Amino acid sequence: MARVLTLDDLSSAAVRDTFPIPAVRGLAVPRASREVPEIVCPFPEVGIHPEAQRLKRDNFGWIMEKGMAPPYPGVSEEEVLGRLQRQRMPDLHARMWCDAPKYDYLALADKLLTFFWILDDFMDEPRSDEYRAQQIEYVQAFRPILWAGVPGPCRDPWGARTLNTFAELWAQVRAISPLDQLKRHASVIDNWLNVSLDESGAVRHERRIPTTAHILGKFIQVHGMDMFIPWNEIALDAFLPEEIYGHPSVADTHVRFMNAVCWYNDIFGFNRDMASGEVYNLIAAMMAHEGKSSVEAVTFLVDRINADMTALDYMAQSAGKDGMADDRLERYTAGIKKVVRAMLEWHVTSGKYDWHEVFTPGAPAPASPSRPEPGRVPAGPTGLGTSASRLTAHLATR
């Protein structure tokens, strides 16, 4: 029997330096490999919201005002804020929701998704036993916000601060969402928290690579990309009634959307996942337990990405033609196509998935980054509370 590969094997320089990144038709992909098929996205390049620069300023100002930068051992607040800036989240959101009709709704969706991008890293990067206990306490304190509007007790200062921040955001969601949609949004978040808290968190903490069957069973049942669906409704002001949202064709559209995004996330984020200890990656599972090479595993996923995007395109074009005509559905399905395209472009161009951006202790130090070193924050005043002024000045020069 072949030896099961470990996280240490898959995070090695030998695997990292030979990992095949697929080309994307119509996009310039650094180091694209000819060993694997190209990703073919049928959706045209998206525009950008006219208020994109305002969104960027508001987003970063909110991150600093609320103290959203999570603490990492031995890493300064300035470094964490710099990483968040290089991830270019508000740029992504301004493209995903380029047709958002109301700025206030767009800004709320932007903050909500930024919150969960940050929280997802907090959940995905396992560290010590103390950190695992802190994570469990955080999730348990989070749930009461969804159903009662206030967080439970949390001893960690960053945890307590961000829980209060989410309670403020959730109050805004409650104010604009119809009751059925609000319950649906809360259930999506609660399911995601369950996945982060239960055995998935334990598996990450133990650095065990789960099997393909385990990943598919858990993450098809409770998709990480489910989190996009509530924020799509808010950003686009397209709250779907239950009879439309629950229709089989709409449900299948969601599955295709989430599959495509999850699978190319696993491809473009593979090296970062392995460096950070995020073991829930389908390519890692196929390499570790099925003996597939990285080329075979990436080829397998690219074929499925292309099939899912083709099916998604067909279903989005057919939306409303089976007795469900509704302008909100048309706006919503058109928005999903823009999200898929914008996310794909962002995976290629953002610093979010650079493996050398990982803060987890024990992550390999970058020897020769695959792309030019990201610009660093200019020198200036130092000391507690001064990173905000330096980063604001840096943003003004960009």
Residue 371 is predicted with a pLDDT of 37
| % of the chain residues with pLDDT over 70 | 82
Answer yes or no: are the C-beta atoms of 211 and 7 closer than 8 Å.
Answer: no
Amino acid letter, residue 205:
H
Residue 196, pLDDT > 60, answer: yes
Least confident of 2-11, 97-106, 205-214, 219-228: 219-228
Residue 104, pLDDT > 90, answer: yes
**Token duo for residue 345:** 């472009």
Amino acid letter, residue 2:
A
Residue 389, pLDDT > 60, answer: no
Residue 270 is predicted with a pLDDT of 94
d(CA 96, CA 92): 6
Answer yes or no: are the C-beta atoms of 15 and 274 closer than 8 Å.
Answer: yes
CA 70 from centroid of its chain's CA atoms: 16
Residue 226 is predicted with a pLDDT of 67
Nearest alpha-carbon partner for 266 in 229, 304, 232: 304
Least confident of 60-74, 146-160, 178-192, 374-388: 374-388
Amino acid letter, residue 301:
L
Residue 378, pLDDT > 50, answer: no
d(CA 393, CA 71): 23
d(CA 232, CA 348): 22
Looking at residues 84-107, what average pLDDT do you find? Answer: 94
pLDDT, tens only, 241-275: 888 888 777 888 888 888 888 899 999 999 998 98
Position of tokens 């968190």? 201
- pLDDT band with cut points at 50, 70 and 90 for residue 294: very high
Answer yes or no: are the C-beta atoms of 177 and 152 closer than 8 Å.
Answer: no
Residue 268 is predicted with a pLDDT of 93
Report the chain's terminal Cα–Cα distance, integer Å.
55
What are the φ/ψ torsions at residue 144 (nearest 5 degrees)? Answer: -60, -25
Residue 95 is predicted with a pLDDT of 96
What are the φ/ψ torsions at residue 33 (nearest 5 degrees)? Answer: -95, 140
pLDDT, tens only, 32-45: 999 999 999 999 99
Residue 324 is predicted with a pLDDT of 59
Q: Where are the beta strands (DSSP E) in the chain?
A: 21-22, 32-33
Residue 199, pLDDT > 70, answer: no
- pLDDT band with cut points at 50, 70 and 90 for residue 363: very low
Q: Residue 250, CB half-sphere, CA atoms under 13 Å: how many?
A: 23
* Sign, Cα dihedral of 152, 163, 190, 119: negative
d(CA 31, CA 23): 8
Looking at residues 158-163, what average pLDDT do you find? Answer: 94
